[in-house]
Structure 1
Amino acid sequence: MRSLFLSLVVVLHALTVALPQPHPLSISLTKKSTLRTTDGRVDLASIRSHISSTEAKLQRNAAAFERNTGAALFSPSITKRAAALGSAPLVDIANRTWIGEIKAGTPPQTFTINFDTGSTDLFLPGSTCGDTCSGQQRYDPDSSSSAQLLGKSFTVEYMDNSAATGDLYADSVSLAGFKATAQTFGVALNEFGFSSEIYDGLMGLAFKSISRFGANSVFHTLVSQGAVPEPVFAFKLASSGSELYVGGVNPSVYQGSFAYTPVTKEGPWQITGDAIGINGKEIVNTFSAIIDSGTSLILGNSPDVSQLYAAVNATEIEKGVYALPCDTVPTVSITLGGKSFPLSAETLIHGPVDSSGTICIGAIHGSDEVEDQWILGDVFMRNVYTVFDVGNSRVGFVELA
């Protein structure tokens, strides 16, 4: 009887270890910056910078995808431009910060992170970063018993021609309480571009094929290690109650049924959309789109965006940037998975151009660089609850509660 009892204890212990354990499922998110000046006006310089950063990110992802897979992610011209850029800017950290906390190392060190579905890799400032990382929590591998130096370095460049270098490590990383072991990430040895921000680093949530390190994202590692209840994560981005929900969806923040659309290529979260319309008139039909929490706008190809704004007599005040009366905001709807999702006036407009408050800047911008590719950033995501389904390689959208 005693031996039977001991056998049952061993079996139960093994099951307990093997199965995902209960954890907090969500990370509270806060957006700490905008595209406006302190007096509430639109900062056109920030918008221009953000458009350029989004274009560079698209090109960088195309180059990484081709390098890792041997295939083209987008059209040949985008890939060619990306290759010509060499080491493209890693990230523009201004004005797009949905931030929350993660932990890394043993014992765990806590970091404030910018979560980005448009990239894959995790970057943290290192303990030897010095004064150039002033104000940031720095990852100290010497204080972690599970840290492993991988013997590989990286270099990234920024749009101001500055650069950061660092080493690759493998260590445990916890996301919403779920622990990924031996996760590869970059540790910066010098200024990494985040020192002026109130967060420490960046966590990508896209696919391995666009990783600079040839590594899984933290979430994909959690899935491969069986550490989460379900292979999905979801975003609620809103003026209040924003969260990243890990290992499932939060039924209290949405209503209705999800409209799903499959991922067309596993690089960024790239899908095919049905239509984009304005004031009840469809302007764009069947388009490719990337769902990107790391971008604070919607970016589309210049001809389609021009046609969209022409329907409401908006004025292009500079390349890809349109102005319209603040008191006559149009209704824009984006149809995905057969379901139409309207954009609120609050998200569709960046804000006024001057103190009069009569003319506003639209949050949909045109670009000659993206061709037939649309980027649906948080201007879109703040209007829906978005689930990223790794297990079925699809993205789902549903109305917020």
Structure 2
Amino acid sequence: MPAAAILVSLLSLSSVFALPTQSPGVAIPIQKRVSSTAVPGVADIASLKAQLIRLSSKYENNFAAYERNTGVPHPLAPSQARKQAAPTGLPLTDAQEVVWFGSISVGTPPKTFAIDFDTGSSDLFVPGSDCQNCGNHPRYDRSASSTSKDLKRPFTLQYGSGESDGDQVTDTVTVAGLTATGQTLGVATNYSSSFASSPTDGLMGLAYPSLSGFNATPTFNTLIAQKAVPAGVFSFLLAESGSELYLGGANKQRYTGDISWNKVTKEAYWQIAVASANVAGKAVVPGFEAIVDSGTTLIVGDTASVKKFWAQIPGAKEANDIQQGYFSFPCSNVPKDVSFTIGDKTILINPQWLNLGAVSQGSTQCVGGIVALDGVDFWILGDVLMRNAYVTFDFDNNRVGFATLAAA
């Protein structure tokens, strides 16, 4: 797909300007994975009950990895998480969650896997040949790859309801024709039953190296170091069709106008400052830190702020029967004027993505995509926000950019 990979110099916190052209990047088609049991128009309650537990586990393990790797706690880590020791952890995403996946290959000769691309973590894992409960997933056989090297380091994959074990190796990993040699990855020997039945085989983290549970260089950073990409930049387009992950820049065909840039405030997650969450043009939650996370379906915030947000929506109420933290609202009154101001750009949330569906079949109450999580003082901007903009992640200049989507 023709496109221009681009680099710019950061002039100020969140600025907009023209971009010089460089050699083209590479697009990976990605697909949306949803629950196979979901009823159209009805919220997948089983998934919603699990998502906050899974999300808490993911972030707890990432914070622990950051402290092991750097020797200091991450400033956003809750005080309780700072006190807890954790094994080398990598969260497994349950089959029920809505995530975005595409194909990569591992080894020599190459073996193809369907992979979730997650900006909220940093490691890569695939199922191994020794896995006895990995369903119909393809297996990576280290003995069959001439470029594999066993690091003789075990690891633990952490997720909401249990854990899975595996081993670390290095091997050749190819993403959309771009090859990283000597890449560290986890080879799983055990999967949860729900993940074993998922259409995706593993996960590739796209966050900073300091979050790596393996204390290793993430795949995209290896591509940068080995000069396999024209720029240390990648971009997401999340849509009902034509979704893509673009490596090496931003695909100009997918957005209009300029990219509005925001400096990463802590190089671990893709963490930025958000000016406000708005309802009807009014800032109801001013000034907070947020993490842009493609591996999270929802928008998640601290409990006090999210309650303040939903208090502005007529008929909204807590939906603790689903899971503490969720809110519902009358299906006849889906909020149409919710937005987030990030730097100098305001992103309007399409009501279609804010509405997760009816509480049950025939119910007049619908579940909202903005959710509260106890014990945090930051927000997580997942799929519900990312669908409304073209989102670019720039390692070269440590910033995240948002642009207006091109017409479909």
Q: 1:342 to 1:24 in 2, by over 3 A?
A: closer
Which residue of structure 1 aligns with residue 16 of structure 2? none
Report the 3-state secondary structure (helix = DSSP H, G, I; strand = E; otherwise coil) of the residue aligned with 1:258.
strand
1:123/1:134 Cα in 2 relative to 1: closer, same or farther (>3 Å)? same
Aligned length: 376
Given that 2:58 and 2:158 are in contact with CA atoms closer than 8 Å, whether structure 1 keeps it comes out as: no
Distance 1:26 1:212, change over 3 A: same
What do residues 344-381 of structure 1 show as CA deviations (whole Å, max 9, x unaligned)? 011111011133352211100011122x2100001000
Residues 201/23 of structure 1: CA separation in 2 closer, same or farther (3 Å cut): farther
Residue 66 of structure 1 corresponds to: 67
Q: How does 1:1-400 map to 2 (within 5 A)?
A: 25-34=26-35, 37-38=38-39, 40-75=41-76, 78-81=78-81, 83-84=83-84, 86-87=86-87, 90-93=91-94, 94-130=96-132, 132-161=133-162, 163-191=163-191, 194-313=195-314, 314-318=316-320, 319-330=324-335, 331-356=337-362, 358-370=364-376, 372-400=377-405
What is the CA-CA distance between 1:387 and the residue it aligns to?
A: 0.5
- The residue aligned with 2:20 is none
Which range moves more in the overlay, 83-92 or 317-326?
Answer: 83-92
Residue type of the alignment partner of 1:225: Q
**Could you tell me how far 1:249 is from its partner in structure 2?**
1.1
Q: What code does the residue aligned with 2:98 have?
A: R
| Residue range with higher mean Cα deviation, 259-268 or 34-43 | 34-43
Distance (Å, rounded) in 1 between the aligned partners of 2:263 and 2:284 = 23
Distance 2:247 2:90 in 1: 29
Alpha carbon RMSD of aligned pairs, Å?
Answer: 1.9
- Alignment partner of 1:169: what SS? strand
Kindly indicate whether the alpha-carbon contact (under 8 Å) linking 2:115 and 2:200 is maintained by their aligned counterparts in 1: yes
- Counterparts of 2:397 and 2:218, CA distance in 1: 17
SS at match of 1:133: coil
Instruction: Compare 88-97 and 140-149 and name the one that shifted more.
Output: 88-97
Measured after TM superposition, the shift of residue 24 of structure 1 is: 7.5
> Contact 1:114–1:201 at 8 Å: present in 2 too?
yes
Task: Please tell me the residue identity of whatever aligns with 2:385.
Answer: F
Between 1:135-144 and 1:111-120, the stretch displaced more is 135-144
Give the conservation status (yes or no) of the 8 Å contact 1:73–1:79.
Answer: no
**TM-score for both structures, normalised by structure 2:** 0.88
Give the CA deviation at 1:44. 2.7
**379 and 70 in structure 1: CA distance in 2 versus 1, 3 angstrom threshold:** same
What SS is found at the alignment partner of 2:360?
A: coil
SS in 1 for 2:257: strand
Q: 1:62 to 1:24 in 2, by over 3 A?
A: closer
Q: Give, in angstroms, the shift of residue 301 of structure 1.
A: 0.6
Match of residue 5 from structure 2: none
In 2, Cα distance between equivalents of 1:83 and 1:171: 35
2-side partners of 1:124 and 1:46: how far apart? 23
Point out the more displaced range, 78-87 or 64-73: 78-87
State whether residues 73 and 82 of structure 2, in contact with CA within 8 Å, keep that contact through their aligned partners in structure 1. Answer: no
How far the C-alpha of 1:395 sits from its partner, in A, is 0.5
Pairwise CA distance, 1:201: 0.6
Contact 1:322–1:362 (CA under 8 A) maintained in structure 2: yes
1:29-85 per-position Cα deviation (integer Å, ceiling 9, x unaligned): 111205973353213332121012112222221111111112221346x15325426
- Cα distance in 1 for partners of 2:24, 2:311 equals 50
Supply the AA of the counterpart residue of 1:61: N
Unaligned runs of 5+ in 2: 1-22
Amino acid at match of 1:328: N
Distance 1:229 1:280 in 2: 39
Instruction: Name the aligned partner's letter for residue 181 of structure 2.
Output: T
- 1:280 CA drift (Å): 1.4
CA deviation map 1:96-143 (0-9, x unaligned): 32110001111211111011000000001111213x112001111122
Q: Percent identity?
A: 43
Larger Rg computed on CA atoms: 1
Cα deviation for residue 281 of structure 1 reads 1.1
Q: C-alpha separation between the residues in 1 aligned to 2:305 and 2:37?
A: 26
Check conservation: 2:149, 2:170, Cα contact below 8 A: yes
Alpha-carbon distance in structure 1 between the residues aligned to 2:141 and 2:367 = 44
- Inter-partner Cα distance in structure 2 for 1:79 and 1:177: 43
CA displacement at 1:258 relative to structure 2: 0.8
Q: Per the alignment, in what secondary structure is the counterpart of residue 327 of structure 1? A: helix
User: Which shows bigger deviation, 93-102 or 209-218?
Assistant: 93-102
Q: More displaced, 143-152 or 297-306?
A: 143-152
- Cα deviation for residue 167 of structure 1 reads 1.2
Contact kept, 8 Å, 1:35 with 1:350, in 2: the verdict is no
Q: Which moved more, 1:220-229 or 1:25-34?
A: 25-34
Structure with the greater relative contact order (CA < 8 A, sep ≥ 6): 1 or 2?
2
In the alignment, the residues of structure 2 paired with residue 286 and residue 157 of structure 1 have an alpha-carbon distance, to the nearest angstrom, of: 32
How many angstroms does 1:188 deviate by? 1.1
Query: TM-score when scaled to structure 1?
Result: 0.89
Distance 1:43 1:154 in 2: 32
Q: Does the 8 Å CA contact 2:274/2:288 hold for their aligned counterparts?
A: yes
* Amino acid in structure 1 at the alignment position of 2:47: S
